[in-house]
Amino acid sequence: TMPDGLKENDFFPTPIITPSTKADAGHDEDISKEQIIATGLATAEDWTILEKYTLALFARGKEIAAKRGLILVDTKYEFGKIGDEIFLMDEIHTPDSSRYFFAEGFEERQEAGERQKQLSKEFVREWLIQNNFMGKEGQTVPAMSDEWIDVISKRYIELYENVIGDKFKPEALASAETNERIVKSIEKFS
């Protein structure tokens, strides 16, 4: 149960894990811990491990964000299993999988009932919805002006610089160079 009196963007006493699974098409589908175990997607033991990994990753993400003046609000982790071993399967704490608020002024904005200053892809999602796109079957992504694409790029760069703590340095790479770098990075972990 949720504590009484929570307002939008108030924090839960402890993080809440809301599992989902990949749908054949469209958006991820919500699923409960009980359904995961009952359908054999994971055993009860696997769930305990997944919960431990999730909470540890979130705690570490919050710690890193706090050092940069940010609050890790929520995020998504994707796990898979190879044999008996559970693996983290995708990126973590990126603007595509997470929302960050600026810590400075957070409490004041909460008290005043103002929107939080955030770094995430949420502003793109809001723009898409305002332009009648919700990712539903048959919908076409609306055209984005060069100016809007520039705004998106600058916001992603701002998030990169805030989370990483380094200046973003764009590089002009040919497609082959990009592919080569990706392969080399993956090979480091193979």
How much is the mean pLDDT over the chain? 91
Q: Is the pTM of this model over 0.85?
A: no
- Of 118, 151, 176, which residue is a domain's last? 118
3-state secondary structure 47-100: HHHHHHHHHHHHHHHHHHHHHCCEEEEEECCCEEEECCEEEECCCCCCCCCEEE
pLDDT in tens, 1-17: 788 899 999 999 899 99
Tell how far CA 61 is from the center of its chain: 11
145 and 105 in a common domain? no
Least confident of 35-39, 85-89, 91-95: 91-95
- Of 91, 118, 145, which residue is a domain's last? 118
87 and 7 in a common domain? yes
94 and 8 in a common domain? yes
- Of 93, 118, 143, which residue is a domain's last? 118
**Do the beta carbons of residue 37 and residue 43 sit within 8 Å?**
yes
Nearest Cα to Cα of residue 124 among 95, 159, 146, 93: 95
Q: Is the pLDDT of residue 63 over 90?
A: yes
Exposure of 31 by Cβ count < 10 A (0-12 exposed, 13-18 middle, 19+ buried)? middle
Domain count, the chain: 2
165 and 145 in a common domain? yes
